[in-house]
Structure 1
Amino acid sequence: MAERTKARTRAARVRIDVQHAPVAEPRRRPKNRKAQIAAVAAEAFSERGYHGVSIDEIATTVGISGPALYRHFPNKYALFLHAATGLATSLEDAIARDAESAAASPAERLDQQIVAAIRTTVANRKTAGLYRWESRYLEPADRAIIRAAITSVNRRMGETLARMRPGLTEQDDFQICVAVLSVVGSVTAHRAHLPTRRLEQLLLDACRAVARTELPLHDAPAHRPPAPAGIASSNKREVLLHEAIRLFHARGYHEVSIEEIGSAAGINASGVYRHFASKSDLLSAAFHRAAERLAVAVGTALAGSTTPRDALRSLVEVYVHLSFGQSELMSVYFAEIGSLPEAQRTELRNVQRLNVEEWSRLLNEVRADLSVVECRFLVHAALNLVLDVGRVMHFEPAPANEARVRALMLATLFGSASGA
């Protein structure tokens, strides 16, 4: 009898527990799922390039299936377009939102615009450089949208700079604005860290110095006879490397095939493999070529200098000259590192890092007011503007063009318009 009573009591307790058991909430899709997907995709595209990222990888990182991702974006290109255009237009919006104060002087106004650009770029640091290299994989009409956004930012900033420095020519104004935005954007090219407030001030000071730079006068336009074609190399390996660099620069590594490289070099595909085991070996060879030439340039500059300041001036001169003389090679060197296999990518990033450290050490000896990390930021900024300003000059190897880029680099590094 007692056992029967205990059994009834246990059964009653079970019924009570079941009645009061919490009912599982139905799983709801986060309201910001699309934004989550876009953020993950933008970071992945920035890190490894458009072709190095798959839809499945993005979906897995977000924690959803591929079909679930397609409810928000129809394909990888749509994701890429969203990321690339969003980053460019966010910069345009940041400058436009900073409404002009009637009481602000042109110099104050320019500071406001620069700070707005810095804060937007730093807030999106992991992804803000995406449009710079990867936008070449966009359709022409979509690429034009990004170009229009960046042009708008340049125009707004240029109008303010023209009021601050009314004697500037339109060309000077444009080139200085490109350099200012390049200094800001340089933080997307590396992962050095500074407290946010200090980083803002460091970049603002560098941009102010660039904005006040007195650019050397352009030479009077003169008819230049076409450069001689030169004698073609008979070394098939060198010919292949030359044509690969040219095609990688023009269209991007992933858009070029081994067959196209061989055809440009006058060699069939099987002949290419006698010199390079794969397309990635061609790219790796291009990287090592650039790294070797940079190493020689650094060695030459240091050997002929007696002070850290002189060494930096020499480094600036040889680096600019190399960049203008080998613009396709240097562009590939900075644009395509994400296309290399991981082991080679790590090795070459270490080579790039050592080069920056050499510059930073010298700058720290010149500018005792800065830490080594702060010097590293300025070195990245100075190197970055060479490619950006050089591109708007079409890397025309005129002495005045190189002198202008040198002046902008020295202002960035030394923190004064004269670079003294």
Structure 2
Amino acid sequence: MQELEAKPVTVREQRKAQRRQQLLDAAATLFAERGFAAVRLEDLGAAVGVSGPAVYRHFPNKDAVLVELMVGISEYLLDGGREVVGSAAVDVHTVRALVDFHLDFAFETPAFIRIQDRDLQSLPEAAQRKVRRMQREYVELWVQVLCAVDSELTESDARTTAHAVFGLINSTPYSAGRSPSRSARPVLRAMALGALGFSS
């Protein structure tokens, strides 16, 4: 059977996709700064230079913006974690790679951590369940790796350890501020690996 060629993306479609991404980026910043409840769709439009009604061409309501942000970042973490672990044999290098991956997330997208902490409950119920399911799967990915590296570690203790490391790394938006020092990442990396029982 002959494969159908992909339909070329038009300039208009490219611009629409770019505007949608600009709105999502603006939403991440505004939700993190003010909280979901305090931001209006008109605020999102103003942040990217369009009218409030123009935002409705991309999102039906403000809830849809929050859903896309939270589901998207949860998928990113889970998919990225799976990619780090891969299909190769798990060892201490896998643990270090997971720590580095989560550090990248914390330092590159701190707004999402603030939104997660404050506004997860604002998600519609179905989206909230989806986000929590992916978060649990991400935790269990860490649990499997930690147990594989340390055969004496129970799943319960591995889960507690993983959550403790997440708490440490996810403190970045609060502890490091808007402009983290150059030493912030290596300090957190050393602390996270130390909590896991490994050297940096």
Query: What SS does the aligned partner of 2:65 have?
Result: helix
Q: Which residue of 1 aligns with 2:44?
A: 261
Counterpart amino acid of residue 141 in structure 2? E
Counterpart amino acid of residue 387 in structure 1? N
RMSD across aligned positions (CA): 2.2
Give identity over the alignment, percent. 26
Deviations for 1:157-213, whole angstroms, at most 9, x for unmatched residues?
xxxxxxxxxxxxxxxxxxxxxxxxxxxxxxxxxxxxxxxxxxxxxxxxxxxxxxxxx
Runs of 4+ residues over 6 Å off in structure 1:
none
Q: Which residue of 1 aligns with 2:106?
A: 323
TM-score, scaled to structure 2? 0.83
Q: Which residue of 2 aligns with 1:406?
A: 189
Q: What is the CA distance between 1:367 and its match in structure 2? A: 2.5
Q: Which residue of 2 aligns with 1:347?
A: 130
Q: Equivalent of 1:376, from 159, 163, 170?
A: 159
Give me the whole-angstrom Cα distance separating, in 2, the residues matched to 1:315 and 1:335: 25
Query: What SS does the aligned partner of 1:235 have?
Result: helix
Q: How does 1:19-418 map to 2 (within 5 A)?
A: 235-303=18-86, 306-394=89-177, 396=179, 398-414=181-197, 418=198
**CA contact under 8 A between 1:360 and 1:375: conserved in structure 2?**
yes
Give me the whole-angstrom Cα distance separating, in 2, the residues matched to 1:381 and 1:305: 26
**CA contact under 8 A between 2:75 and 2:134: conserved in structure 1?**
no
Q: 1:390 to 1:273 in 2, by over 3 A?
A: closer
Structure 2 unaligned blocks of 5 or more: 1-15
Counterpart amino acid of residue 377 in structure 1? T
Q: Which of 1 and 2 has higher RCO (CA within 8 Å, sep 6+)?
A: 2
Give me the whole-angstrom Cα distance separating, in 2, the residues matched to 1:296 and 1:407: 25
Q: Which residue of 2 aligns with 1:4?
A: none
**CA contact under 8 A between 1:262 and 1:272: conserved in structure 2?**
yes
Q: What is the CA distance between 1:400 and its match in structure 2? A: 2.5
Give me the whole-angstrom Cα distance separating, in 1, the residues matched to 2:86 and 2:180: 25
**CA contact under 8 A between 1:297 and 1:315: conserved in structure 2?**
no
**CA contact under 8 A between 2:91 and 2:149: conserved in structure 1?**
yes
Counterpart amino acid of residue 74 in structure 2? A
Give me the whole-angstrom Cα distance separating, in 2, the residues matched to 1:399 and 1:359: 27
Larger radius of gyration: 1
Give me the whole-angstrom Cα distance separating, in 2, the residues matched to 1:314 and 1:334: 25
Structure 1 unaligned blocks of 5 or more: 1-232
Q: What is the CA distance between 1:357 and its match in structure 2? A: 0.5
Give me the whole-angstrom Cα distance separating, in 1, the residues matched to 2:89 and 2:184: 27
Q: What is the CA distance between 1:323 and its match in structure 2? A: 1.1
Deviations for 1:253-305, whole angstroms, at most 9, x for unmatched residues?
11111111111121212111111111111001111221232134313422496
Q: What is the CA distance between 1:349 and its match in structure 2? A: 0.4
Counterpart amino acid of residue 183 in structure 2? A
Q: 1:258 to 1:377 in 2, by over 3 A?
A: same
The alignment of Structure 1 onto Structure 2 pairs a total of residues equal to: 185
Give me the whole-angstrom Cα distance separating, in 2, the residues matched to 1:271 and 1:254: 20
**CA contact under 8 A between 1:357 and 1:376: conserved in structure 2?**
yes
Query: What SS does the aligned partner of 2:60 have?
Result: coil
Q: What is the CA distance between 1:406 and its match in structure 2? A: 1.1
Query: What SS does the aligned partner of 1:336 have?
Result: helix
Q: Is residue 2:194 matched to residue 1:419?
A: no
Give me the whole-angstrom Cα distance separating, in 1, the residues matched to 2:57 and 2:168: 38
Q: What is the CA distance between 1:309 and its match in structure 2? A: 2.0
Counterpart amino acid of residue 329 in structure 1? F
**CA contact under 8 A between 2:32 and 2:114: conserved in structure 1?**
yes
**CA contact under 8 A between 2:78 and 2:134: conserved in structure 1?**
no
Give me the whole-angstrom Cα distance separating, in 1, the residues matched to 2:173 and 2:149: 26
Q: 1:378 to 1:305 in 2, by over 3 A?
A: same
Give me the whole-angstrom Cα distance separating, in 1, the residues matched to 2:100 and 2:182: 11
